[in-house]
Structure 1
Amino acid sequence: MRRYGLLVLLTLLFCIEGNAQKNISDYPYVVVPAFFEFLKEPDQYQMNSLTKFLLNKEGLNAVFETELPNIPRCDALWADVELSPGFIWTRTYVILKDCNGNEVYRSGEGRSKFKEYKKAFQHSLRNAFEIFDPSAAVLDTASEISTTPKTLPASEKEKEAPESVTVVSSEAAPKIGSSNATYVYGDYTLKALEGGYSILYKNEKIGELVPTARPNNFLAKTSMFNGIGYIVDQGIIIEREVEGMVELVPMKFEMVKN
């Protein structure tokens, strides 16, 4: 009888452990799409780049779909942003889904009263991340017991991620600007590196521009600030975080003619 009771107990413990909920931070990757449904073009207003940046700031390993290693799709969470402009408020939620497209986490509501689209969208997204909880447990979904993706509507199929993709190598990563160009913004300078740029302040290196898999987009990582950046016809713009400000502040770097 004791042996039978011990066997039952071990079986129950195994079942409990096997069905234990995962936390968001337990997933090795959070995948950010190149396009959100409320936008008219990929990464419009840098919303996708900003989402990736803010997820990484929360301590998660956020990647674009083209940067995802060749792993089972259900080993990752898939990010989405739901945004609804209104007469007074722009309301935004950060959503995480499993590999079958089931919603497993939804942040609290981020709001903005800005009327300009870019300011309203970025402001409300950043406010949604103020109440984003990377330690939260994801909801139980069918993905816990099945890895067969559900059939998506025709309108969603174009946005569905492939079963697996290969990591972008440094050789394949997009080159940012000319390989020998220098850009200046006040006391800040961008100098070319292999695949990116060094960021200098008064001729002292403080960080780098790190290319993403999306052409002409990158992350700025320095000892003084972090941000997102992109190429424009006039040069390179870095939108950086400034303490005490909810909006990203643009730094417009202009090319120095040799």
Structure 2
Amino acid sequence: MRTLLTALFTFGVIFISAAQSLDQYKYILIPETFEFTGEVDQYRLNSMTKFLFEKEGYITLMKTEEKPADLRQNPCLGVTTKLENNSGLFVTKLVLKLEDCYGNVVFSSEEGRSREKEFEDSYQEALRGAFESIKELNYQYEPNANISANVPLPKVVEVDEVEQPEEEVEEEVQEIMVEEMNEEKEEEPTQEDAGTNEYRYAGKTYTVKETAQGYGLFPENASEPIAILIETEGGKSFIYNSLTNQGIAYFDSQNNLVVEYFSRAENKKVIIKYERID
């Protein structure tokens, strides 16, 4: 009995520690391609990972998209998503891991499993299984003083100690830091700078608005988007993510918005073209 109580207590301490360690991180960074896959968002694992994290209240970012100002200043506010593939011949096995800015694993999920025969179905089922460990954490961001203070050092300026007095060196470093801060402010997009374009599909008008994450697809007079477009490959294509479908999107030579995804209900690939309104 004592052994059982000890085991339960130990598991409880480990579980609480994991929850607290994730609560202190503000952002989840997701790669466009996991190490064991060969294509961007293959099997829709990357877009599904983003969707599942956001469903649990996390702020997610694709690693290639523009970072918020606080994350640019302090990369340690975010953790990077890794998927460990332990699959065998008949069973797909995935473990979800999160690494801090130093490459240390701060969270490792239980192993998600699937016996589905189709690769996409099996990987997605295994990923959902691994996410059960995330659900149990009841994440709520709580700033940690140690992480918040972990700001990268400013650039070191090499100077000739004989020819340049120490006071001048300090002034030069301060000027460089001020210039870098001003550059960051200039790079941050504002609402006035964001592009807005109108498109038409099936007799309805939609608006594509540029955001920090990429683009949002808004129905006419709607305040919430029906889908988000996450930039990949330097803006040449996007991960399309709606409540019901995940796929890819891109702007063609006429600047029409083309969306492609696989419809399970119709069991076929669907292509939708939102025509640009000039």
| TM tier, smaller | 0.5 to 0.7
Answer whether contact 2:21 2:106 (CA < 8 A) is retained: no
C-alpha offsets along residues 53-112 of structure 1, whole Å, 9 cap, x if unaligned? 111111111111233321312221111111233221100111111111111111111111
Compared with structure 1, are the counterparts of its residues 81 and 168 closer, same or farther at alpha carbon in structure 2 (3 Å cutoff)?
farther
Q: State the partner residue of 1:193.
A: 208
Query: Percent identity, aligned pairs only?
Result: 25
Q: State the partner residue of 2:24.
A: 26
Q: State the partner residue of 1:99.
A: 101
Q: State the partner residue of 1:157.
A: none
SS for the counterpart of 2:51 is: helix
Give the one of 61, 64, 74 matched to 1:63: 61
C-alpha offsets along residues 27-56 of structure 1, whole Å, 9 cap, x if unaligned? 111111222110112322222121111111
C-alpha offsets along residues 163-195 of structure 1, whole Å, 9 cap, x if unaligned? xxx788489x999xxx554445xxx97834234
Answer whether contact 2:240 2:248 (CA < 8 A) is retained: yes
Q: State the partner residue of 1:210.
A: 228
**CA distance in structure 1 between the partners assigned to 2:120 and 2:205 by the alignment:** 26
For residue 235 of structure 1, report the CA deviation from its aligned partner: 4.4
For residue 239 of structure 1, report the CA deviation from its aligned partner: 7.0
**CA distance in structure 1 between the partners assigned to 2:24 and 2:57 by the alignment:** 11
SS for the counterpart of 2:83 is: strand
The number of equivalent residue pairs is 199
Matched to 1:33, the amino acid is P
Structure 1, unaligned runs of 5 or more: 1-19, 138-142, 150-165, 243-248
TM-score normalised by length of structure 1: 0.59
**CA distance in structure 1 between the partners assigned to 2:96 and 2:263 by the alignment:** 21
Compared with structure 1, are the counterparts of its residues 250 and 59 closer, same or farther at alpha carbon in structure 2 (3 Å cutoff)?
farther
Q: State the partner residue of 1:160.
A: none
Give the one of 235, 240, 246 matched to 1:228: 246
Answer whether contact 1:29 1:60 (CA < 8 A) is retained: yes
For residue 227 of structure 1, report the CA deviation from its aligned partner: 4.9
Q: State the partner residue of 2:50.
A: 52
**CA distance in structure 2 between the partners assigned to 1:127 and 1:189 by the alignment:** 39
C-alpha offsets along residues 169-224 of structure 1, whole Å, 9 cap, x if unaligned? 489x999xxx554445xxx9783423442358xx999742222232421332xxxx
Compared with structure 1, are the counterparts of its residues 47 and 192 closer, same or farther at alpha carbon in structure 2 (3 Å cutoff)?
same
Compared with structure 1, are the counterparts of its residues 71 and 148 closer, same or farther at alpha carbon in structure 2 (3 Å cutoff)?
closer
Compared with structure 1, are the counterparts of its residues 174 and 46 closer, same or farther at alpha carbon in structure 2 (3 Å cutoff)?
farther
Compared with structure 1, are the counterparts of its residues 51 and 67 closer, same or farther at alpha carbon in structure 2 (3 Å cutoff)?
farther
Structure 2, unaligned runs of 5 or more: 1-16, 141-145, 153-183, 211-215
C-alpha offsets along residues 114-173 of structure 1, whole Å, 9 cap, x if unaligned? 222222212211221123244479xxxxx97x9699xxxxxxxxxxxxxxxx788489x9
- Max radius of gyration: which structure? 2
